[in-house]
Amino acid sequence: MILVDKEISLEELKKIAHQSFGNLVKAVVDVEKEIMVIGGELHSDEEEFLLRRGSRQENLWGINIYPDLENKEWIEFDSVINLRPSLGNLTRGVDNPEIREKIYKIVDKLVRR
């Protein structure tokens, strides 16, 4: 797993995708710290990685990044860790549009395309 707190290249992201799932990279984004961890087999592994480094669970959201796609289609909001009834998130997606938009901005900032 790789902590992304500084910009990485799209080519590096593609390389990680091809080494694991082929066309996607699992990621967990910390919307407070504006960082993410990538390259884990499960979102829950990445979530634990960030929790051990001081992130708060309510700020962590699981996504899949498809480096070969463009615009907003390259991010898929689908992870079991996103099921958070206590926070009002009742799906594997990210139900709050403000949080989704923040995730788009963080990923766009961290991945140089």
Q: For residue 76, how far is the Cα from the chain centroid?
A: 9
Given pLDDT bands bounded at 50, 70 and 90, which one contains residue 98?
very high
Given pLDDT bands bounded at 50, 70 and 90, which one contains residue 52?
very high
Q: What is the mean pLDDT of residues 71-87?
A: 94
pLDDT at 16 over 90: yes
Q: What is the DSSP string of 38-106?
A: E--SSHHHHHHHHHTTT--GGGEEEEEE-TTS-GGGGEE---GGG-BGGGTB-SSS---HHHHHHHHHH
pLDDT of residue 71: 85
pLDDT of residue 36: 98
pLDDT at 113 over 90: no
pLDDT at 73 over 90: yes
The domain segmentation of the chain, as residue ranges, is 2-112
Which residue has tokens 């919307």? 31
